[in-house]
Amino acid sequence: MKNKLKFLLILSLLGNVLLGVFLFPSNVIRVKFLAYKIFGFQTPNEIPSFNSLVLVQDFKPKSALEAPDTRKSNLPSMPIVETHGHLGKMFRTNPEEVSKNLTELGIKKFINLSFTTGEDFVKLKAEYPDPRIIHFSTFNWKRLSEDNFAEKMLSDLKIDIANGTKGIKLWKNFGLNLKKKNGERLRLDDPELDPLFIECAKSGLIISIHTADPVAFFSPIDEKNERYEELLRHPEWSFAAKEFPKLDQVLAERNALFKRHPTLTFVALHFAESANELTNAEKFLQDHPNVYVDIAARIDELGRQPYKAKAFLTKYADRILFGVDGAPDRGKLEVYSRFLETTDEYFDYYPEHKPRKGFWKIYGLGLSKDVLEKIYFKNAEGLFAH
C-alpha cells in the first residue's frame, strides 16, 4: 500500500513538473534547444523574444515584400461616376465637404443611394443640392405592418417620384429580415410588390439592390471561416442562424424578380454576390440582360483571382459599374484605381483607415483604357442619362 502511495506521489510530482515546463512557451523552447544540443545542433544562447498569445484582431503582419504604389498620382486616371455612394447623418457627411471632395477627387457624378423616403428624402435632397449628386429613395417598408401595405407603398413611391427621386435603393433587409403583418418573411419575388416595380419601370427609375452578403456571412463563425476576424467584430452581420433563409434561396428569389420585370433596369450591387464565383457571375449576366453589377466592396474577392477577374471585366465591360460604397473617400479611390489600372502585386484591398475582411491581399488587373472608361464613367453616364 505504501509503495503504491509513493508511486502515485512521484507520478503526481512528475506531472506537476511537466505541467510547469510545458505551461510556459519559453520552457518548451528550452526543452527543444536542449534536445537539439544533444543531437549536436547549435542553438541561440538566448530564448528569442516572442508573444505566444496574439489575438486575431491584433495580428497585423507587415509584409517583407517590397510592393510600393509607384504612380505619380494615386487617384483614378480619368473622371469617375460613383454609382454606390451614401450621404447623410448615418455616414457622417456634410454638404460643403462632399462638394469639395467631388471636385478634388474627380467625381463627375455621385449616385446617393439613400435609405430615405417621404419627407426625409425631401430634406436630404435639400441638404445636398449639388447638381452632381443624383438622389435615390427607397420603398417605405414601414407600411408592411399595415393592411393593404403594397397599395400604400405605391402611393408613397409616387410621392417620391414627384419629389425627384431618380431610382430606388433596396437593402439586404429585403429578403432576409422584413416580414409582413402576419409574420411571414417578405420574399424578394413576392407578387404583391409587382405594382411598385411596374411603376418604377414606367417612371424610368433604376433599382439598385443589395441582396444578402458574402457566403462567409452565412457560415458558422469558426476556425474555418475566412472572415472570422471581421465577424468577431460584427457578429450582427452573421446570417448563419436558422431564423434566416439560405443564401441560395435569397439569390434565387432576387433572380426571379429580375426576370419578372425585364423592362426594368437593375443594378445588382456588390457584384451580385458572385465575385467569389465568376463562372456563376457570367451565367448571371447572360441570364439577366436587364441587370448591371458594381464592384463596390468586392475588389477583395476579385483581386485575389486577377487572371479570371481581368478576363471577366474585359468581356463584360459594358455591364460593370464603378463604386466604392460610402461617402467620397480618397483612400478608397487610391486602392480601387490601383486594382483596376496597375499590375501591382500583393497589396491591401483596403485603405489604412478601414479594417480588413480577411487575411489576404490582392493583385492589380491592368485594364485597358477602353475598359476603364466604360467602368469608370461611360456605362453610368448612359444608365443615368435621364
Which of 23-37, 125-139, 162-176, 330-344 is predicted with the least confidence, judged by mean pLDDT? Answer: 23-37
- Residue 17, pLDDT above cutoff 70: no
- Are the C-beta atoms of 302 and 309 separated by less than 8 Å? yes
DSSP 8-state class, residue 173: H
Three-state DSSP at 268 gives: strand
- Over the stretch 166-212, which tens digit does the pLDDT of each residue have? 999 999 999 999 999 999 999 999 999 999 999 999 999 999 999 99
For 265-276, b/e burial (b = at least 16 CB within 10 A) is: bbbbbbbbbbbb
- What value does the mean pLDDT take over residues 130-157? 98
- What value does the mean pLDDT take over residues 298-310? 98
- What value does the mean pLDDT take over residues 366-370? 98
- Over the stretch 233-265, which tens digit does the pLDDT of each residue have? 999 999 999 999 999 999 999 999 999 999 999
Length in residues, the chain: 386
| Grid cell digits, residue 179 | 416580414
Distance, CA of 101 to CA of 293 (rounded, Å): 25
C-alpha 85: how far from chain center: 13
Three-state DSSP at 376 gives: helix
Distance, CA of 93 to CA of 218 (rounded, Å): 31
> Which residues are CB-neighbours of 328 under 8 A, at least 6 positions away?
82, 85, 98, 101, 102, 105, 107, 110
- Over the stretch 154-175, which tens digit does the pLDDT of each residue have? 999 999 999 999 999 999 999 9
Which amino acid does the sequence have at 312?
Answer: F
Distances (CA, A) of 165 to 58, 200, 325, 384: 44, 10, 19, 12
- Residue 143, pLDDT above cutoff 90: yes
- Are the C-beta atoms of 237 and 231 separated by less than 8 Å? yes
Report pLDDT for 74: 95
Q: Which range scores top for mean pLDDT: 48-52, 69-73, 195-199?
A: 195-199
- Over the stretch 342-352, which tens digit does the pLDDT of each residue have? 999 999 999 99
Report pLDDT for 22: 60
Confidence band of 43 (pLDDT split at 50, 70, 90): confident
Distances (CA, A) of 98 to 74, 87, 119: 20, 9, 22
Report pLDDT for 20: 63
- Over the stretch 91-123, which tens digit does the pLDDT of each residue have? 999 999 999 999 999 999 999 999 999 999 999
The average confidence (pLDDT) of the chain is 93
Residue 287 dihedral angles phi and psi, to the nearest 5°: -80, -15
Which amino acid does the sequence have at 122?
Answer: V
Q: Which helix (H) or strand (E) holds 300?
A: helix 299-302
Confidence band of 53 (pLDDT split at 50, 70, 90): confident
- All domains of the chain in start order, with CATH: 2-53 (no CATH), 80-383 (3.20.20.140)
DSSP structure string for 52-83: S---GGG--PPP-S------S--S-SS-EEEE
DSSP 8-state class, residue 49: P
Confidence band of 59 (pLDDT split at 50, 70, 90): confident
- What value does the mean pLDDT take over residues 44-50? 76
Distance, CA of 164 to CA of 137 (rounded, Å): 9
Residue 267 dihedral angles phi and psi, to the nearest 5°: -115, 115
Report pLDDT for 1: 63
Report pLDDT for 19: 63
Report pLDDT for 2: 65
- What value does the mean pLDDT take over residues 278-290? 98
Report pLDDT for 56: 84
DSSP 8-state class, residue 377: I
| Grid cell digits, residue 199 | 411603376
